[in-house]
Structure 1
Amino acid sequence: MTQISSNHKDVIIIGGGLIGLTMAQSLASHGLSAHVVDRADPHAMMVKGFDGRTTAISSSTMAMFDAIGLGEKLDGKGCPINQIWVSDGLKKGALDFIPEAKDGFLGKMFENRILRQKLYEMVSASDLITLHMPRNIISQSRDDHRATLTLDNGDILTASLLIVAEGRQSKTRDDAGLKRAHWQYNHIAMVGAICHEKPHQNIAYEIFYPAGPFAILPMLDNEKGQHRSAIVWSVDEKDAPAYLKMGPRGYAAELETQMGGILGKIDLAADFASYPLSFHNCIDITANRLALVGDSAHGMHPIAGQGLNLGMRDVAALTEILVEASRLGLEAGDAQNLARYQKWRSIDTLSVSVATDILNRLFSVSGKTASAIRRFGLSMVQRTKPLKSFFMSEARGESGALPILLRGERI
């Protein structure tokens, strides 16, 4: 008979970011226990003050947050996105997505710090979740019976399943031999936030330039009543250093030019950060007693703002599988669960990732002919209701085989 230690739980989650903590809370809200291990200090990630980093949460992800009890803690903290406006370099032939009044918002914009803070408060209060943060992993192993981790303080953790939410550079994924297709885009994303003269009216703008997409995402006004938006600006990697060396005034002036004066005069609300853009997708997202979620399994261009939401679909699907399995008396790490998760998520993640990659490449082609073709395509979508409804469903995260949690229902 296999001995079970007092440190045994249903799952061990490596990674205490937004995906890892949501995974833990999602399982705990249905009675399953979890260890969460991360080498980062959670308090350092939640320091007071706005650092410019934001996340667009789709309406389906918000429905899941409501179902697991997080939604009420975020009430009033996010800015609804009521319309998405898409254009090819601010030229004629723009496309706008405006949902019916009965359908509500398309998504909400949150400061990352607030999302982390509210998630951390929830998981810290749960009797089913044990946080090991900050802690380094000294060793780990998986066999036919369990997954085992040894931490730098001597703790030995065991679980039926190891869930990997480490992010794009996941060592656990690589050590498990889970191969991925990946490439660099030779582009840099510059991310930050601005205060602006005109109200954004809850509109998200996606402006495509040959050098890369330029997104303006609505945020709540600050405590002074100033209008705010988040910026995600993709530029060629050879041009990024020059932009990042600009002073606040020069940078603001350049942003105003890129925006075509849509929101009037602007000032920087936080320093801009930058990171290289890349694509990766794992063919296999499971191994013996191991499952990948979020960026550990897939990463894409931010052109459609679906990266985190795609990871939340992983969370919702894996939660559904594990909860249903537990009610049948199966362990979390049972091979049947992993096979179901692999089949369910691998097709969806690949299709969304590839579609995003193709979209980025199409809009990166320069020249008048390419621009005219793109604008014709945008106008066709604008006039074709079924096509427009399809893309709106994608923006909401409501396409494909939708897990129960993403419908706002408990399992």
Structure 2
Amino acid sequence: MADEKVDILVAGAGAAGLSAAIALAQAGFSVACAGQIDRRANGRTVALFESSLRFYKALGLWPRLRDLAAPLAKIAMVDATNARFAAPSVTFAASEIGLAAFGANIENNVLVEELAQAARAALSLRECLIADIRFEPGGVDATLADGSRIRAALVVAADGRQSLVRSRAAIEARSWTYPQIAATALLAHEKPHRDISTEFHTRSGPCTLVPLRPRDGLAHRSSLVWLMSDAEAERRRALNDEALAGEIEDQVGGLLGAMALDGACGFFPMAGMSVSRLTGERVALVGEAAHLFPPLAAQGLNLSLRDVAALVQTVEDARSRGEDFGTLEALEPYAAARRGDISLRTNGVDLLNRSLLSEFAPVDLMRSAGFFAFAAIGPLRRALMREGVLTHGDLPRLMQPPPRRKTPSRAHA
């Protein structure tokens, strides 16, 4: 394939990278996106919250995704730790904050394939890994695995936790691990989920059931994310489908009746990561190239899409001022806008996860007190819900609610 020269190169073709490439192309930049598209059905799904739905609606992508996703009207949390100071069960309803649903759940491979189709129509999508990248005074020069080259004024690193771009830009990353494996699966079950996502908090971490759309005659479906010890993951990986479905059913107390696996399972080690900075000369980090934490409270891709929306706004504003949008100075508003949100989510998820793993009585007591407060104090509960699905502060333009239509005034006789 011939060499290319574009305004912006997006490294990585997962959901975050493809979303960034489409959004930047729609903003009027010439864009190339390079990376391998993971089409495997491994039980992973994505819960897109309200701000993420607004993002995809603003890009005109939601109509092609709507019928593939299941709404999340309520989120229930159940203490299954058997702690001495048991926390009360808490249910959060989207209607309490004026929403029909907190968001919608969609299978990860389905979302990625839809985004890839949209990207092919809007930009140069290269299904090939970047083999190397050089940072030069006026831009970046990337060599792909097929030997072709792409030159750009800015590279967006969306190439995951082992980001080559981040490494070549000499941006430091601090990583840590958890004594947990996440098992992911799609499930068919006997009883309806009623658009409720249920999170059981256990001593090995959360076990969460999230609604899915019906498919191929399967009327009731949910996705599973179940954090467990390495030893339990190894044992369960060896079980046949029927035995594993039985253990899942037991773990959730028969909440949705008899269960059966609907496809292959995945097992993923849990880790966390933070970076020393989000930008450099000619580079901006988004998604799992910039942050990583366990899949609690469905914050992962939602956080990544806020990265994308903020970055698009930053480079658009720099261009409107006639500036070179790839310089460190031009990218500083992006870094400033994202530091607090990323730190809050990374530290908050880390704290919650470690509190479940700890059997120290004072930790259980503090966690239980927090749940009592959320259950009993309406304003606090509603504030938590808004923070979870919309975040505090100003959202980027692509995530702002659409302007309300003005009601025509009537002339008085």
TM-score (norm 1): 0.91
1:265 aligns with 2:250: no
Number of positions where the alignment pairs a residue of Structure 1 with one of Structure 2: 397
Partner of residue 372, structure 2:
379
Q: Which one of 5, 11, 17 corresponds to residue 8 of structure 2?
A: 11
Q: Secondary structure at the match of 2:302?
A: helix
1:31 aligns with 2:28: yes
Structure 2 residue identity aligned to 1:326: R
1:247 aligns with 2:240: yes
Within 2, Cα distance between the matches of 1:124 and 1:215? Answer: 34
Q: Which one of 309, 324, 343 corresponds to residue 331 of structure 1?
A: 324
Partner of residue 227, structure 1:
220
Superposed counterparts of 1:65-214, under 5 Å: 65-89=56-80, 93-100=88-95, 102-126=98-122, 129-133=123-127, 135-214=128-207
Q: In the TM superposition, what is the alpha-carbon distance from 1:408 to its structure 2 partner?
A: 4.3
Report percent identity of matched pairs: 29
Q: Secondary structure at the match of 1:103?
A: coil
Partner of residue 217, structure 1:
210
Cα distance change of structure 1 residues 372 and 265 upon mapping to structure 2, 3 Å threshold: farther
1:251-307 CA-to-partner distances (Å, cap 9, x unmatched) read 111111110111111111122110100110112011111111000000011112101
1:297-326 CA-to-partner distances (Å, cap 9, x unmatched) read 000111121011111110000001111221
1:322 aligns with 2:315: yes
Q: In the TM superposition, what is the alpha-carbon distance from 1:400 to its structure 2 partner?
A: 3.3
Q: Secondary structure at the match of 2:263?
A: strand
Aligned Cα root-mean-square deviation (Å): 2.0
Q: In the TM superposition, what is the alpha-carbon distance from 1:369 to its structure 2 partner?
A: 6.7
1:55-96 CA-to-partner distances (Å, cap 9, x unmatched) read 111111010000011111112110000000012118671111
Residues 191 and 232 in structure 1, CA contact (< 8 A), matched pair in contact too: yes
Q: Which runs of 5+ in 1 are unaligned?
A: none
Q: In the TM superposition, what is the alpha-carbon distance from 1:113 to its structure 2 partner?
A: 2.1
Q: Which runs of 5+ in 2 are unaligned?
A: 404-413
Superposed counterparts of 1:300-311, under 5 Å: 300-311=293-304
Within 1, Cα distance between the matches of 2:367 and 2:147? Answer: 58
Cα distance change of structure 1 residues 246 and 403 upon mapping to structure 2, 3 Å threshold: same
Within 2, Cα distance between the matches of 1:352 and 1:51? Answer: 25
Q: Secondary structure at the match of 1:303?
A: coil
Structure 1 residue identity aligned to 2:380: L
Structure 2 residue identity aligned to 1:15: G
Within 2, Cα distance between the matches of 1:163 and 1:228? Answer: 36
Within 1, Cα distance between the matches of 2:393 and 2:173? Answer: 23
1:207-236 CA-to-partner distances (Å, cap 9, x unmatched) read 101111111101111220430000000001
1:127-147 CA-to-partner distances (Å, cap 9, x unmatched) read xx11121x2434321122111
Partner of residue 43, structure 2:
52
Within 2, Cα distance between the matches of 1:224 and 1:136? Answer: 38
1:386-409 CA-to-partner distances (Å, cap 9, x unmatched) read 221121013213333311111245
